Chains A and B, each alone.
Chain A
Amino acid sequence: MKKLFSTVAMIAAIACSASAGAPRPAPAKQSNGMPDFATDKDQTLHAMQDELNRSRTRLVIPSVGKPYFIEYRLIDLDIREVSASFGGEVSSAVSRTRSMGVDVRVGNYHLDSSNFVGGQGGFQGVFGNTGQVGIDRDYNSLRQDLWLATDEAYKNAAAQMSLKQAFLSSLTKPPEIDDFSQVPPTVDVQPRMEADWTSRNWEQEAREASAGLKKFPDLYGSHVNYYIIYATTYLMDSEGTVIRNSRCIAAVEAALDTQAEDGMPLHNFYSVDVLNPADLPDPATVAKGIEEAAAQLTALREAPLVTDYTGPMLFDPRAAGSLLAQLVTPSLSGARPPLSSNTQFDQLMARFGGQSEWSGRLGTRVLPVGVSLTDDPAATSAQGQPLIGDYKTDNEGVKAQKVTIVNNGMLTGLLMTRRPGPDFDASNGHARAGNTQPIPSNLILQATNGLDQAALQQKFIQACKDDGHNWCLEVQRMDNPALGAVSPGDASDTVSQLAGGLGSGTRLPLMMYKVYVNDGHKELVRGGTMQDLTVRTLRNILGIGADSAVYNYLQNAEDGLAGTALGAFGTVGENGIPSTVTTPSLLLEEVEVQGFHGEPRRLPIVAPPPMQ
């Protein structure tokens, strides 16, 4: 049934490159400055405009009143997926989908039908107010789909409003914070980018990039996936916002796995994300990167197990980027949590943008003195490297703004959508995820007192000595189970083993080294997980490097682990939002590492068959 389509389809916020593909001309302008959608070959905005006008003026249940806000969003995806394994093609597919999301609100900006979890909220009927729609960019079918979705969304809003009012009447004091902030409308209709698959032979590249892995006899399995995704987003609301923009992301993701001699399952991954397919590295470069990952995995296989450890830990910039993404992101939301008639929903609140660690701590110190943290959606490069998190307007049509979150260690700002919070009312354009939880784009951590590499290393060694250790731990790369799993089942196994652990601070290193205090030599170790490592740990950072690196990742708004480019399809939760963290090396004073406990898996009884 085509209308059963989850809201996640609308979430994919995809990075943009205006340079790829052949742009279509923008529609002609009318005398009032608004583009004339009726004459555009792409009839999407025309259909939206007419159905929105009809609904705005005529959709009414007398006892409820007209909607005060209607929003139509539509995402149009062209997806190319190629998968190869050890030089052979596994699949190659092209698909095109379009899906809509309709938001209808009744009430007013102060008190409306949103921000309430109760009754049957969240579960849609057969029609749903989200759904897959025709891919012809035609007028009639989209109006039909919007008509049904608007009707359903309006009726749902009316039902939610009555449930919410009933709940509010049971409270001694209703919340004072508005439900929805007001913003000036944005009109930004860009030419639509056409998908172009022809510039390179992606199947051949995937085969070539994966073929070199045949040389690694210790590998059990591997895959190399190429994803190219063109997305055109349409947004129109009853306040006058009209947006059409196209974006693109291209990625190569490789996963490889094996087992150590003692049976421990091990994996490694390689990933590269760019905004323009033409910028994807050539197969030889990809092969080199993947083979380096295979060599690392071979080394991990031989590496000794790490024992339990508590003490200083040094994170190289890329590892620090991944760590920050996990630790800081859940704390950045300034939006209020929705009201809930059921306390069991409290645990879900975090996902809806509630209960953020830093909300309500404005003006207090959350990072060390001298450290600043900003989120800059306009930044396109750092350290000479391209960033993938940039965007101009968010999912609510609000212009993206740079936010200084932490200045000299003190919390000065939070990320906002149009859902106001206790500290801030106005949106700063960070509605990037479908559930309107504000999330970051390009996070940048800077320190005024960065140490050069030698000084930082020296400080690290000294801290180890002071703490009475013969060796300490340095992390060069963090793990990402979503990328490292060769089979989907492996990824879910890992995540389910970790379930709950991530929220309480379990973190997964991938390339972790013992650094010996006597001569500074490094030894790769395996099998450790960091425990209780949360954003509070960052209040005291022992040392910060003068170096810096960019960590590009596809943000997963739900569990904090980075997702895969597959998520940019909007099919796998909210785990595909292109984002970056730029940070120097971080030396943390005390991190607890738990060595490998439990029974390792036995080795295969049958040796692997020959690869040649």
Chain B
Amino acid sequence: MKIQFKRGRTFVFAAIMSASCVFLASAQPADSPQPPLLTAMQQELSRSMDALSTANPPAYFISYTVTDADESEVSGSNGALIESDDDHNRYLEVQTRVGSYQLDNTHKITGGRDDFTSGAEPIVLDDDIPVLRREMWRQTDRQYREASQRLIQVKTSQQVQVQSTEGGAPDFSHEKPHVSIGPLVSIHVDRKPWEERVRRYTAEFSKSPATLNSLATFTAQATNQDQITSEGTKLQFGLIHYRLELYLQTKAPDGMDINRYANFDWLDPKDAPTDKTIDATIHQLLGEAESLDKAPLVDPYAGPALLTGRAAAVFFHEIFGHRAEGFRQKDIEEGQTFTSKIGERIMPDFISIKDDPTEATLNGEMLLGHYPYDDEGVPAQDVQLVDHGVLKTFLMSRSPLVNVPDSNGHGRRQLGYVPVARQGNLIVSSTNGVPFAQLRQKLIDMVKQQGLPYGLLIDDISGGFTMTGRSQPQAFQVEPLVVYRVYADGRPDQIVRGVNIVGTPLVSLSKIVATGDKQEIFNGYCGAESGSVPVAAASPAILISEMEFAKKETSTDKPPILPPPAHDPDATKGQAQ
């Protein structure tokens, strides 16, 4: 349940950014032969369904998803290469549901241990139909066996546990099948120039004695997904994503770790950031880190705060977006902040929020949470979640709610996980945005009104987490990376460190008093029950009349005893050749 900058080094990759919607229009002509992979999937799925739909217990739904992931990764640290690899893998995921749409093996067992993984089995890259079918057969049998065992547990729990209203919603929604065979995508990456670049970028960081560690990682991914279900859905689509991440770590004299990070995402090699842009970013990160190293620690504070668009985007993703995920509404272990609030006002009426994975860009900038079909084969939909402050609906996978019976194309997962409702591109808009300078003046006015010496300006948020479980406080915490004190008396802004934003969602949303007039985009990877998925959030800057800041947990490790070797005036021995 948190958004994060850094994607962990994993062997699997989620359905990544799309190569726009073009392929939707250019679907394969009806008379062209079916690709061998889809043929193998179709043959084995039909045969399995024929046999298992009459078995005991009967399977009522089977889906096969094959993800063909081609990735190049080049990573450098402290001026040297640490990794440069290509990987090409194909993974099979099989879902077998037994029982019925109303009650099946996936039904939540209260107090039971949830298993969010489905298993992604590596399969042959060659289009050898008998071999592919053998692996599909093997996984189908495994999944059917597990589903059958789980159904017995579900039925037992039905006998002994009280069922909530939402728990009585069906387990799986009926959806129209979709057939779309798009073109496959591919990438051709020459890693050599990137090897030189990541060395150079990180060497640039090392020129500062403040730098402890730096990392620059370039990734290029072409992911082709084939999906077929016993309901008749048959999809093939491809997504391409290029990404450069820069990461810098320093340490303040009191031991606090200072992390700075920047990322660039693009779809087409011609849109790669230029060296000039990257160099400017490197120096900005360095400048911020060096300032933060020297910045004073700020005490806990409650008062007005201004969040820039990017920071506000993460704020909305955490405190609103996760609570609008449909599956949380039916789980009685969840806090269900908004479950009964459809039709009610939950934030000021000048704010509207939608989640729209169908768009690949916003104002010309890439949106990382774009996809044509979700991981349950449902077309992505633009979903109006909040209309002028009023909650309209939830993000839905094929796990229905009593009042929201259908998926709206938000069933998403990282490879190897079971899809649940997740955010795609969360887009916040405002009907009374004002230019940033005015917003800033409003902050100062508000500070004066409240008799405070300063307000806080949050320029960058690393991510955060939100607790949605019922057994925990319904609180959120987000970690601002760059925070300025904006003084009421006109002194220059002062960078500070050492605080987290804490709060509760309903109160915080109601305290938004004004917004900026320009949306800014945050692209990142969000981790939750169904793994890490690419998301975007966009929002104008927001001014909040009262926000609470708490001291952040910090490392007590002192900075290193000796200076960095390259900046040690007494390191008479050995410099680079």
Contact = CB atoms under 8 A, between A and B. Distances in A.
B88 A91 contact: yes
Interface string B32-61: 000000000001100110011001000000
A2 to B, nearest CB: 6
Contacts of A91: 87-89, 122, 125
Contacts of B568: 54
B574 A49 contact: yes
B85 interface: yes
A156 B79 CA distance: 27
B573 interface: yes
B573 A54 contact: yes
A230 to B, nearest CB: 16
Contacts of A139: 574-577
Interface in A401-419: none
Interface string A52-88: 0111001111000000000000000000000111111
Given A2-B213, A54-B565, A90-B123, A606 B52 contact: yes
Contact of A606 (B84, B137, B206, B558): B137
B445 interface: no
B125 A2 contact: no
A15 B517 CA distance: 65
B80 A135 contact: yes
Given A86-B131, A147-B564, A151-B562, A220 B138 contact: yes
Contact of A134 (B77, B87, B121, B257): B77
Contacts of B80: 133-136, 138, 140-142
A69 to B, nearest CB: 17
B215 A53 contact: no
A98 B566 CA distance: 21
A93 B73 CA distance: 12
A609 interface: yes
B78 A604 contact: no
B333 interface: no
B131 A85 contact: yes
A3 B122 CA distance: 28
Nearest to B132: A88
A85 B134 CA distance: 10
A61 B571 CA distance: 19
Contact of B206 (A85, A87, A126, A140): A140
A84 B249 CA distance: 41
Contacts of B138: 220-221
B35 to A, nearest CB: 16
Interface stretch (B139-147, B301-309, B451-459): B139-147
B123 A612 contact: no
Most buried by B among A61, A136, A140, A610: A140
A24 interface: no
Contact of A58 (B44, B130, B562): B562
Contacts of A132: 82
A145 interface: yes
A94 interface: yes
Contacts of A86: 124, 128, 130-131, 134
Most buried by B among A142, A606, A609: A609
A459 interface: no
Contact of A136 (B133, B134, B199): B199
B125 A89 contact: yes
A454 interface: no
B135 interface: yes
B130 A144 contact: no
B103 interface: no
A55 B561 CA distance: 10
B574 A50 contact: yes
Contacts of A221: 134-135, 138
A132 B126 CA distance: 34
A38 interface: yes
Contact of B83 (A97, A126, A606): A97
Nearest to A54: B571
B557 interface: yes
A489 interface: yes
A143 B566 contact: yes
A134 B213 contact: no
Interface string A214-241: 1000001100000000000000000000
Interface residues of B, number: 68
A49 B574 CA distance: 9
B565 A38 contact: no
B119 interface: yes
Contacts of B78: 134, 140-141, 144-145
Contacts of B141: 604-606
Contacts of B122: 83, 90-91
Interface residues of A, number: 70
A162 interface: no
Interface in B554-572: 555, 557-558, 560-562, 564-566, 568, 570-571
Interface string A136-177: 101111111101100110110000000000000000000000
Nearest to A220: B138
A59 B119 CA distance: 49
A158 to B, nearest CB: 11
Given A88-B125, A140-B206, A605 B79 contact: no
A611 B137 CA distance: 12
Interface of chain A, main secondary structure: mixed
A2 B79 contact: no
B137 A609 contact: yes
A214 B134 CA distance: 10
Given A88-B126, A126-B257, A608-B134, A134 B81 contact: yes
B124 A88 contact: yes
B557 A155 contact: yes
A165 B86 CA distance: 50
Nearest to A60: B561
Given A88-B124, A601-B145, A141 B577 contact: no
Nearest to A85: B124
B187 interface: no
Contacts of A126: 249, 257, 555
A602 interface: yes
Interface in B139-179: 140-141, 144-145
Nearest to A51: B565
B560 to A, nearest CB: 4
Given A125-B557, A140-B576, A611 B130 contact: yes
Contact of B79 (A51, A87, A141): A141
B212 interface: yes
Interface string B229-273: 000000000000000000001000000010000000000000000
Contacts of B570: 58
B552 interface: no
A609 B133 contact: yes
A430 interface: no
Interface in A160-203: none
Contacts of B84: 96, 135
B6 interface: yes
A284 B108 CA distance: 52
19 contacts: A55-B562, A58-B570, A59-B562, A86-B134, A90-B125, A125-B557, A126-B257, A126-B555, A134-B79, A139-B574, A139-B577, A140-B565, A140-B566, A144-B206, A151-B562, A221-B138, A602-B145, A604-B141, A606-B140
Interface of B: 6, 43-44, 47-48, 51-52, 55, 75-90, 119, 121-126, 128, 130-131, 133-135, 137-138, 140-141, 144-145, 199, 203, 206, 212-213, 215, 249, 257, 555, 557-558, 560-562, 564-566, 568, 570-571, 573-577
Given A59-B561, A606-B137, 12 more contacts: A88-B131, A89-B124, A90-B122, A125-B557, A126-B257, A133-B77, A134-B76, A135-B80, A135-B84, A144-B213, A604-B141, A611-B131
Interface of A: 1-3, 38, 43, 46-47, 49-51, 53-55, 58-61, 83-98, 125-127, 132-136, 138-145, 147-148, 151-152, 154-155, 214, 220-221, 487, 489, 601-602, 604-606, 608-612
